[in-house]
């Protein structure tokens, strides 16, 4: 019975988090700082969730850092997602081989 109660509470909380801003903030946000802050929130959250997993995905942190560096460099140059992902993966693989460690965790 308590599992269903937990699920119900989670559903209500999730609904409230999504519904309250829509009902309480009816006008257009005019504050430039707040608009800028809200624009970057999804990117910051994604980075906070992804970066630790990327660093700990290999046996050697140096290989992971090299892969992240290549990914950042290629994305700054405007390359596509597939190009960035494949180049970063190849970089991690090659650096791991050079360091004498298997590429996987």
DSSP string across 54-72:
HHTSSS-HHHHHHHHHHHH
Q: How does pLDDT run across 27-39, given as a tens digit for each residue?
A: 888 889 988 988 8
CA distance 57 to 66: 13
What is the C-alpha separation between 36 and 1, in angstroms, rounded?
Answer: 44
- Give the tokens for residue 69: 């560096």
Q: Summarize pLDDT for 40-97 with one digit per residue, the tens.
A: 888 888 889 988 999 888 888 999 999 999 999 999 999 999 999 999 999 999 999 9
Judged against a pLDDT cut of 90, whether residue 5 lies above it is answered with: yes
Report the C-alpha gap between 17 and 83 in whole angstroms.
36
């Amino acid at each position: 019975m308590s599992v269903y109660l937990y699920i119900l509470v989670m559903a209500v909380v999730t609904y409230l988090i999504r519904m309250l801003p829509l009902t309480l903030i009816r006008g257009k946000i005019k504050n430039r700082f707040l608009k800028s802050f809200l624009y970057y929130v999804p990117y910051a959250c994604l980075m906070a969730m992804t970066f630790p997993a990327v660093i700990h995905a290999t046996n050697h942190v140096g290989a992971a850092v090299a892969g992240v560096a290549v990914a950042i460099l290629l994305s700054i140059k405007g390359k596509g997602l597939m190009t960035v992902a494949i180049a970063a993966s190849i970089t991690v693989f090659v650096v791991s081989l050079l360091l004498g460690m298997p590429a996987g965790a």
